[in-house]
Amino acid sequence: MPTPIRILLQTTIPHTEDDWHIGRFSILQAFLRGLKDVDGAPLCDVTARDRGPVKASDPVLARLDSTAFDQLWLFAVDTGDGLDAEDCRGIERFRERGGGVLVARDHMDLGCSVCGLSVLGSANFFHTRHLLPDIAARRRDDDQTPSISWPNFHSGANGDFQEICAQEPVHPILIDTDSPTGAVRFLPSHPHEGAVGAPPGEPSARVIATGTSKITGTRFNIAVAFEASPAAGAAVTQSTFHHFVDLNWDTAAGSPSFVTEPPGGALAGSSVAQASIRRYVVNLVCWLSGRDPDSVRDWKDDTASLRAGPNVE
């Protein structure tokens, strides 16, 4: 019987109640913990935490390579001080020993501490650090929230869903045999997604999915996959952590007070989009550890898996 996949879900900020602390990813936590393997045993062993104090290296990330974790899902919700040099080295050593990594940031400079990750950091573009190479692309896409500048691609309201485009050849993370296209079609939308891209000269990386701005029609990158190799584990960089946060899966879960955009509700009414999001998460967790997603049982029937529980703030 395979051992459970040991996953660390981690933010890049200390616990701050009115912010994107790890408790705001509780629906994802519950979904991962509910997944079963072909024998009915738990597929995942999930640990969820915020980082330690910012004036010191994080006690887990800085030594991540010496832990028993198989995967790191890093939600970069900081404004620049979320990872220090020791944290970055710990994460890079973790990949070098075969660990799988997801990095998800957001608009403008939100999550820009990931620039300290050599290869994975180079796949992320921000407002003041590691700028988009195309100067013409350094312009505001979402113009509905004046306080947020580029990169800020508008894929829809929080609580709605967007149709994404799987790039050919369709990556294993995006394969969906229940979809009419054979690929994952929908992910949660967000008014201002960030910018990611495959680093030049990195043969293991390619853009696997794109989205389209509902304001300008601009095509933007949703996810970049880094294939596993003898030198490093598999990894994904994603345009926004809002693809995984409670607010975007169920607006009833609430949000920090600084979120002012009016929410949508289309995702709550679409069982097809909900199934697509569940498929994406199952594929992602399996691909990062080289497991077969077809060996995961019963997740398609979990109609409540994208809903907030009674204790979610």
Q: What is the pLDDT of residue 301?
A: 73
Residue type, position 309, single letter: G
- Select 5-301's CATH number: 3.40.1010.10, 3.40.50.300, 3.40.50.880, 3.90.1530.10: 3.40.50.880
pLDDT of residue 311: 46
Q: Which residues are 10's β-sheet partners?
A: 49, 74
Task: With a cut of 50, list the residues of the chain below it in pLDDT.
Answer: 311-313
Each residue's pLDDT tens digit, 163-213: 999 999 999 999 999 999 999 999 999 999 999 999 999 999 999 999 999
For residue 312, what pLDDT is reported? Answer: 41
Of 195, 189, 217, 81, whose CA–CA distance to 149 is shortest? 195
Q: Please state the pTM of the whole predicted model.
A: 0.97
Residues 279 and 164: their CA atoms lie apart, in Å, by 14
DSSP the chain: -PPPEEEEEEESS---TTS--GGGGHHHHHHHHH-B-TTSSBSEEEEEE----TTS--TTGGGGGGSS-SEEEEE---SS-S--HHHHHHHHHHHHTT-EEEEE--STTTTGGGGGSHHHHTTEE-SSSS--S-GGG-S-S--SSTT--SS-B----TTSEEE-EEPSSPPGGGB-TTSTTSB--EEE--SSB-EE-PPTT-TTEEEEEEEE-TTT--EEEEEEEE--BTTB--EEEES-GGGTSHHHH-GGG---TT--SPP--TGGG-HHHHHHHHHHHHHHHHHHTT--GGG-BSGGG-TTTTS--TT--
